[in-house]
Structure formats: C-alpha cells, structure tokens
Structure 1
Amino acid sequence: MTFERKTLLPVSILAALLLCSCSSTTKKEDITEPTEEAVRYEISSFDELPSSDSQDWATALSAFKVSCRSVGKKADWKDVCFKAQSTDSSEAESFFKNNFTPWQISTQVIGKQTGTVYSKSDKGLMTGYYEPMLKVSSVRTAKHTIPILSTPDDLIIVDLASLYPKLKGMRLRGKIEGRKLVPYDSRAQIIKRHDLDKNAIAWSSDPVAVFFLQIQGSGRLQTEDGKMIRVGFDDQNGHPYKAVGSWLVEKGYLKRHELSMQNIRAWAFQNPDKVDTLLNQNPSFVFFKPREADNADEGPIGAQGLPLTPKASVAVDRKYIPLGTPLLVSVSQSSPALEFVRPVVAQDTGGAIKGPIRFDYFWGFGDEAGSQAGRQKSSVSAWLLLPKGVRPN
C-alpha cells in the first residue's frame, strides 16, 4: 500500500536528488511542463529491511524514550510510549519490530499537466553534525574579537500563519527602518556591527570555529577560567543558508570531492586573508542562547526541546517527518568509506535540511565526533517506523 503527498518541488530538493544518484534518467530539457514532487510512503515489513545491530536498537530505544516525553502525549503514540518505558535495552529490537510498521520513503517528480513521472528515487542525502567545544574568553580581548551572539533586540519575527493559516511554519525575519519591515542584516553586515557586542555570550579568536558552531547549532564554550557554557540555537537572521564549499570549488581552491569540514578548516588556516570573503558567501547567521543541562553528559537540546542521543538522533524536515518519529536508515558512501544501517529518531531540524529524504546525523560531542561528521555526505534510504495501525500523514 502506498500513500502520496504532493508539494511543489523546491530547487534545493531537486539538487539534492540529483546529487544523490537518483534513479531518474530524464534530462532537464525533456521536461516541458511545471512539475511537483509526490512523496510516497510504501508499507513494508521488517523481514524486507536491512538488518541492524542489537546495540543500535538499544541506543535508539533510549532516544525514543526521551522523545516520548513529548510524543507520548499524542493519542497515536500513547500506548507504544507506555510500553517503551518498561522495555529493557536487551529487548529493544523486538520492541520496535513488535510495535511498529516500517514505511519506505520515496519521491517522484510528476508533471502537473500530464501526470508524467519524470523521475523517481528512494535515495536521499545524509550529512553529519556534532557538538563542538570552543576555547573562548568571557570578555573581548586583543586576541578574542569574534562574538558568539545572542538574539538582537532589533530582530523582528513575523509568524505568517497568524494571518494566513496555509503558511503554517513560515516566518519572516527582518528589522524596522522607519515604517518599513526590511530584511535583517546578512552575515557580512552583522560582523561589522559593534553595537551588537552587548549581545556577546563569549568571544572567540577563531572565526572559522564560530562559523562551524553556527552550522552545528549547539556547542560548549570553555572560558579562560575553566567555566563551561553550553549554548544552543535560538534564532537566525532570515537569510538562506549557502554552502561555502561551492565558492571554494568555483574559485578552484578545492576540488568538489575534497570538500569536508577538515579541508575547509585547513584551507582557511593557510589563507587567513580570504577567510572573511569565504565565510560571507553564506549570508545566514545563527544566534545562540545559553542552555542548562541536568547532566553534563547529556546531549545538546534539539528542536524537539529534548536532549539528543549520539548516533541515534537525526535532524529532519518536519514538513515530511514529525519530530519524535523513529526511522531506520541505510547509509553508504565511498570516499571516505562509510556504511551502516541504524534505527534513529527524528529529534532535530536544520536550516539546510529540506526534503523528505534529507537527514543530518548527530555523531555526538568532541573532536572524534567532529571528524566523523565533517566527512559524512552519504546516500541514504529510509523507512518511517510508525506504531501499528498508524498511517503516514
């Protein structure tokens, strides 16, 4: 049985599909009509799915129990969350297989006028992210000149759904100039504004580290006196995210296959005079807020408002996948080699995570997690795991 949901096809999703070895062989010039994307959820069985290790199921169960603090309040999830709380980690795999039904996610690009299927794929893109730690100063110094900013008072947010319910989830961000609401400042403009210094949570000596902190969306800041400050995403300036690696490729500084967080860092270290130009290719800018953690070992807070679990939490586009939903993902890439099948839980979102088969995999905290996350750009297949009797929306 297959369920479909159709939406207009954003360019970002089409690009991701093309980058991920989709099965379509249709050339763009062959399409002579407007298209839309149909998201398909096809019922499957666990016998048809690739297998995963028992420890991965146990880790996913721990993450799901966390998510049940939220989704367990919903009627469709109440019973399965109740069962989860009394399930031991050794029974994790059987818990999921006895209480959930897998639904494979796929997409089709369809002609709006003729209904022609121009392309179809069950493959998508998975990248990785992590929780970094930055050495910082609590005050600005001659060395520490890069602020890690909280949300400015002049950032105005307009929830469009209050006026147009069909635009649920869409917001405008800007600032007031005279009687007009205009777009908020870009990254290049923000870094020149010293009036925002009062919003600095801490100061760094490394603009690239702060840039990647913004991409990760959370992190830990260690001050000169040893104090640890945990920060998480609070808001964003409203400008779209643009990958700076594209500029490095266009200029011939790196080959496309060389793009990774580690190689971008190395290039920036060797070319300090070009760092601002590089970073300003991405007009998006993230603002943070300090976050308290009940446990120092607890993961950062995700979009669900709950702590993330290393190697079991993913960021999703909640337009397609509700937060708190378990999934099974099958991941592979050749350079560097990476392959795994793991159950995960949708517990976060991200500015670049757009589309039904587009995920960001949370590797955890620290340098090793950062090394793994920085190298991941994988092809992925995915199955929603829904409580038995529940169908995809």
Structure 2
Amino acid sequence: MNRLPTRTALGLALAVVAGLAGCSSSKAPPPAATSAPAPQPAGTPAPALSNTPQRVPAGSAKAGPKGPSEVRTRNAMFKLASYDELPGWQEDDMRASWSAFRNSCDVLQKRDDWREICASAKTVPPNTRAMRSFFESRFTLLRILHTDARGDGDVTGYFEPLLEGQMQRDAEFNTPVLGVPRDLYTIDWTRVPKAQRRSVVRVRAEGNLLLPAQPGDAATYAMDMRRFQLDDRDRRLRVRLVGRPGAPDARVEPYYTRAELEALGLPQGIDAPVVVWVNDPLALYAMQVQGSGRVRMPDGQIMRLQYAEQNGHPFKPLRVVPRQNVRVATRGIGDPGPEQPDSFVIEGDTTEEAADEAPVLTRGMSVNKPAQGTTASSAKVDPLVDELLKGARKSPNTPAGGSNAGSNAGIPAKRPPPPTTPAATPAKTAVTGRLSADPSFVFFKTVADRPLTEGPQGALGVPLTPGRSVAVDPRVTPLGYPVYLSAPAPKGSAISMQRLVFAQDTGGAIRGAVRADYFWGFGNEAGQMARSTKHRGQMWVMLPTAEANRLATSKLLTRGVALGGGESSSSCLVPDGEFCAEVD
C-alpha cells in the first residue's frame, strides 16, 4: 500500500513509528551454506548468469552454481545462488503461497518475460512438489546482499489494525481521518530538466498535477527546486500553491507538515474531506504508519481504509507501543467477545499492560529495547496519556484473544457500548501535540466491495496475503517477484519464517538491500505477531530466467563496474517505470 511515502505508498505500513535504525535484537547466525560472499576486487566485471539448471538432483552432492556470477546496482549486490542453498526450501508448503503468486501474476502477466510463466502456472497440479519444481525450472535465484557484501538485514512485521469510528463528530469521536486535500498538488521532479533541478523553475497546473511551464505560458508559478529533497525512491513532490497564477508572488511551497496542519485546525483549516471520525489519535497515527486499517462503525459495519496520499515530508515517527488487547468480559459461556480495537501508548509512557520488552509495533520500523536498567513496566506514565487511555474497557482476568490473521472472525454484528467515561479532550490534544514532532501525515480513502477475508491492497495493486506478502524497497527487489525469506520465528511462535513470499508492498521505512516487512494479517493475533517480528534475516529474489540472463549482460547494470570499487550507475535491479525508474 502506498505507505509513507510511496504503500498500501509509504510503503504501511504499527506501531507507530517506522524507524530506520538497526534492529535491536541480536543477529541470527546465517545458515552455513548462505554466508555472504567476499567482496570482489575493484573493477571486477559482472559475468553473465549461468543458464544451467540450478537444482541438484535429490541425493546427489550439493554443488553451487558455476562461476562467481554477480551483478550490482547502486543499492545492492546480487549473487547467483542454488535452490539447495535455501534453508527450509524443501519443507515450505508451496500451496500456501500459490494464491499470492497468482495475485502477482494479475499484474506481471502483462510483461513479456512473465506471460508464459503466468499462463503455465494455471496448469500446475495443486501439490507442493509440482509447485516447487515450477519455480526451480522457470526462475533464476539471486542472493540479495548489501553493497559491501553483507548478507543479513532487518525483518520486521506489520498488520491491519482495527479502530472505532462514526460518521458524525461528537465529544468522544473528534479525531478526523482525512481524505486527500484538494489543495495538495504533486509534481514528478524527473520532468524538470536536469540542469534546472537546483534552481528556480516555472511550472503550471493541470488539475492537481504540476508540469514544467512552456514558453508563452502565462498562468505559472515559481518553484525553487533547492527547497526539496529529490529522492529516486519517490519521484513525486507534494506541494501547495500560493497566490494567483501569473502574479509576481505566485509560488510553489512544500505542503504543510503535521505540525502546520494541526496548527491550522483540522479539519477546518484545510480543504480536505473527512472520511470518518475516530476516538483515538494514537490509533489513527498507527494506521497512518501501517498504511491501511479497518474502522468499526456503531452498527458493526466495517469500513476499510487504505493509503491515498501523504504530505511529502520525511517520516520521523515517535515510537508507539501497542497495548495488550483483551476481550470484554461477556456473560455467555464460551463467548470470546468482540474483537477489541487496537490501542497504543507512546514509548516511555507504557504501563504494566504493555508487552514485556515494549517492542515497537511498526510499519517496517527497526526497534530498540528499553535502556539498560529500565523496563517498560517501570517507565513513568504521562498522566495525560493515561487519562486518554484509561477509558478503554479491559478485564485483566479474561484471557486475551483475537481473530486469525487475515480473517474477520471476532468482529461483532454491532459494536459494544462505549466506555461510560469518554476520553478527555485535553488528553487528546496533548497526544496530538506530541505526534506533531513527526512531520509526515497520511491521507486515506475508502475501499469498496472488497471481501473482509482479503488483506489490504498493497503497492502492487493486489490484495496482500497474510504470511506470504512482504513490503520491500523496489529499487532492490522488484514488486510482484517471488522472494525467499529466512529469519527466526517470532518469540513464542512455532511459525517458520523460512518461506516463499512475494514482494507486493512498499513502505517509507523499508529502504535498503536486505530489508523486508512481513504482513501478518488482521486482528489482535496478527498484531501480536507483528510486534514480535524484529529479527535479522536473509533474502533471495527469483527472476524469470530469460530476464536474469539478459540482465547480467545489460550495460544498464554493468557499465559502472569499471569505474572502481565495483560500483554501478544503475539504481534498479529491474526498472519498471513506476516504482523504480532510472533517473538522469
């Protein structure tokens, strides 16, 4: 989902806080067969990838691919690998991944290298052995490495949170979920000639798009390109217009930061539609990080929301800790009660109800443990945050429960009555003020006619599959492609994270070579798994063999190798024109 900035766009993704720091958990030792290869000497050319079968027949001695085949981009190294190197490859149940693969094919089948692959997939028998052979025979396996040849990186998790909302504003439900502002404009900075990207240029508006002005255009605005950071990860700049077009003071300004939006007074201060009103600003902030969410209305109906746009400012989130959700006590024997909305506290304001190590539940953020000598339960509680959250219903003696990841189980036909004491407005105001330290802001749109059993739509434009979809940096891992992931299981879980997944999403904090954000699904259980996913892992990407062979000899990837240090002048492994494009 285009999460910050992208999916769902900015890349989603809960916590809230998508940090870019390294993972706090200790590194898991990589399998012996997958240790990172040593860097090649400067100036070493990238040999062509072998087209020989990569899998060694069962029972024979394992042998790696022939030759040290390698390609490089500015963002990563890729080494030819063998399927026999993959830890857990033979144990993974391919049937569980097939629906995610078919979803990717809905988009990729339009490409020449994918057309036959996706057509043939429809004839594969529904058994793991046949599916595994299908991938081995049609895809070339490349180990993803950092530019310095390191082979492990951060693996985090995200999920789809549940909020409470209604269409009318009142004393409790007074936090607006905003749609895209009508005064938000975008411009693709690559449309500006390279020689002018560090100067003042003239632009004109076409709808909510800005384009470089042509000679003779009168209704133009001045845009100082030096005020903007030009990121090849996201080529769109989000801006607003000041003054009448063509007037001496007509100019382009960066769009409002979160603090500026709050100072203007939402929603009155800007021209933006209110999609729904919710009762918890921290939960809304969490949904902004995740990139999507579900809102339960008073009659029990579920409104699904996904990323629509963001304000164009860098994501610098506060760290937000999810509170342990517990079910409302019920009178019915065996009735698990309704699915409770997700709620959060700002890190440092956690109570004993927070998880043991108070990890951050994020849309792809790396996490930090509490400082040495402190614990989450010993942290001082901000009285305003405590006031905000104390109204949440809880029954400490009732076991926690939740729906299965990706399902709608546990959501009642009608929402339970609200707490007798609504959250105080001053408390919400204080929390909102603290969140203003993050300049980014996400706008949402509703999702119509989508089954509640489906995951949210990712950046690729297809529904995410719990346990089989990941968010990636598309400069390194092309969207839609199969990826093999090897990482430790979350704490207390027997679920294997050595499995085939698909790169179907992005996120603002998902940057770098070996970087994955694992989608767990919807509900309390998915949220708990997501908050526990904070490991070091390894990644491999599968390319259609014809594409891999062509890529290996492409000047696009190898022309910069001779410049020294094994550097490449290409940003993308597979340029796709939308999520990763080569920029002059």
TM-score range, shorter chain: 0.7 to 0.9
The answer to whether 1:379 aligns with 2:536 is yes
The answer to whether 1:86 aligns with 2:86 is no
Counterpart in the other structure of 2:84: 47
What are structure 2's unaligned runs of at least 5 residues?
A: 1-17, 30-34, 37-72, 195-229, 244-249, 322-345, 363-375, 389-426, 552-572, 574-584
* TM-score, normalised by the number of residues in structure 1: 0.80
Counterpart in the other structure of 2:147: 108
* Structure 2: distance between partners of 1:243 and 1:124: 21
Mapping for residues 361-372 of structure 1, pairs under 5 Å: 361-372=518-529
* Structure 2: distance between partners of 1:246 and 1:224: 27
Counterpart in the other structure of 1:57: 94
* Structure 2: distance between partners of 1:342 and 1:292: 32
Mapping for residues 249-328 of structure 1, pairs under 5 Å: 258-261=358-361, 269-270=385-386, 272=388, 273=427, 275-328=431-484
Q: How big is the shift at 1:387?
A: 1.9
Aligned pair partner of 2:266 in 193, 196, 221 = 193
* Structure 2: distance between partners of 1:174 and 1:258: 37
Judge which range, 45-54 or 349-358, deviates more: 45-54
* Structure 1: distance between partners of 2:88 and 2:25: 26
Mapping for residues 82-161 of structure 1, pairs under 5 Å: 82-90=119-127, 91-109=130-148, 120-161=149-190
Q: Deviations over 1:344-384 (max 9, x none)?
A: 00111111111121111111111111111122222110000
Counterpart in the other structure of 2:104: 67
**Structure with greater contact order relative to length (CA < 8 Å, sep ≥ 6):** 2
The answer to whether 1:359 aligns with 2:516 is yes
* Structure 2: distance between partners of 1:181 and 1:298: 40
Aligned pair partner of 2:309 in 235, 251, 254 = 235
Counterpart residue identity of residue 345, structure 1: F
Which one has a bigger Cα radius of gyration?
2
* Structure 1: distance between partners of 2:457 and 2:85: 34
Equivalent residues of 2:459, 2:506 under 8 A apart: yes
* Structure 2: distance between partners of 1:246 and 1:292: 29
SS at match of 1:372: helix
Q: How big is the shift at 1:20?
A: 7.9
RMSD across aligned C-alpha pairs, in angstroms?
3.4
Equivalent residues of 1:160, 1:167 under 8 A apart: no
User: In the superposition, relative to structure 1, how do residues 339 and 295 fare at CA in structure 2: closer, same or farther (>3 Å)?
Assistant: closer
Mapping for residues 174-185 of structure 1, pairs under 5 Å: 174-178=239-243, 179-185=250-256
The answer to whether 1:173 aligns with 2:223 is no
Counterpart in the other structure of 1:30: none
* TM-score, normalised by the number of residues in structure 2: 0.55
Q: Deviations over 1:234-265 (max 9, x none)?
A: 10011111131299xx996679963323979x
Q: Deviations over 1:25-58 (max 9, x none)?
A: xxxxxxxxxxx95511101111111114756422
Which protein has the bigger strand share?
1
Judge which range, 252-261 or 72-81, deviates more: 252-261
Equivalent residues of 1:160, 1:170 under 8 A apart: yes
Q: Deviations over 1:85-118 (max 9, x none)?
A: 2223313222222322210000134xxxxxxxxx
* Structure 1: distance between partners of 2:387 and 2:535: 29
Judge which range, 196-205 or 60-69, deviates more: 196-205
Counterpart in the other structure of 2:293: 219
Counterpart in the other structure of 2:332: none
